[in-house]
Chain A
Amino acid sequence: MAFTLTLIGAMLACGLEMLEALAIVLAVGITRRFRDSLIGAAGAALALAALAVVLGPVLISRVPLAPLRILIGAFLLLFGLEWLRKGVLRLAHLRSPSNSFKEFVEEQESLESLPVPPAGQPDWAGRTIAFKGVLLEGVEVILIITALGARPGGLAPALIGGSVALVAVILVGLVLHAPLARLPETHLKYVVGIVLSTFGVFFAAEGLGVTWPLSDAALLYLAAGFFLISQLQIRVLTRERPAVAAAA
């Protein structure tokens, strides 16, 4: 149970973050030069690999198990609840839907105003934008994988999920932006919010000395709980929407 949910959570969360990084790399590559875009992205990937090598072992070997669970739970709650908050607002039509394709087009438009250096000279602007985009999205990927993988037996499904996401995103990148526009990103991010928040409460409570009834199956009723709470919030916000629009 925990294996499957960890795998799905890691796969969806990492896949969506990587998709946002891909949108930036593609925008830089198409508008400027693919070589510089890929150099920037590769630099960020190296920095992220160094962060992953340091962060995982330090956390697992230096921090005692109970505080580690609380720390991991807190991180997962921060990520999960933020995704869930945005998901609820989007599904209540109080926030524009999530769309990596739109971000790709906007990034492309903003890059067109920057002059491209002559052939043979490095395009530092393009490299920096690709580096920053991949680094920022990648930090979240590293933190999610580290948090999900730090639980006993959690590393394998977290790494498998992350790897599947990486392959899927590379495939999307190869066939370019057509599938990017078709992904139901708002709903996927809402699901990721539920999954990460579920793991967050589960780990943090274990760290605080709780024994969950039905052991790992608690993940299922916690996810159901978050689903029901968020659906209720969506309904309430949808009802409040006309009043908010009138006051604005």
Chain B
Amino acid sequence: MSLLRQLRKLVLGETWSLPLGVAVALGAAGIVRAVDGDDGWWHHAGGFILLGLVALALTGSLAGALRARGR
């Protein structure tokens, strides 16, 4: 059981906020791509949108760590 817990920590990390943030970022990017179609603006600019979403996920997890320390 402890081995499984450690494996989960190794793959998903120490927090839930970061894997959830990554899932939300990729999910949102997938939805925008599906709405925009194959030849729209997403084709050229989508990477930067994904970078922004991932940066937000990282910032969110850092804010969580900061809040946890302040408690």
Contact = CB atoms under 8 A, between A and B. Distances in A.
Contacts of A77: 22, 26, 54
A89 B26 CA distance: 24
A73 to B, nearest CB: 8
Contact of A244 (B11, B38, B54, B69): B69
Given A94-B69, A132-B3, A136-B10, A210 B42 contact: yes
A237 B62 contact: yes
Contact count band on B: 35 or more
Given A82-B13, A139-B7, A208 B30 contact: yes
Contacts of B14: 82, 86
Contacts, number: 114
A240 interface: yes
A125 interface: no
A209 B46 contact: yes
B11 A94 contact: no
Chain A contact residues: over half helix, strand or loop, or mixed? helix
A84 interface: yes
A208 B66 contact: no
B55 to A, nearest CB: 5
Contacts of A86: 14
Given A136-B10, A209-B38, A78 B19 contact: yes
Interface string B31-71: 00100001000111011001100110111011001100111
A222 interface: yes
Given A81-B21, A208-B29, 14 more contacts: A78-B18, A81-B58, A84-B58, A94-B65, A139-B7, A139-B10, A201-B50, A204-B50, A205-B47, A209-B38, A211-B44, A212-B47, A213-B44, A248-B71
Interface of B: 3, 6-7, 10-15, 18-19, 21-23, 26, 29-30, 33, 38, 42-44, 46-47, 50-51, 54-55, 57-59, 61-62, 65-66, 69-71
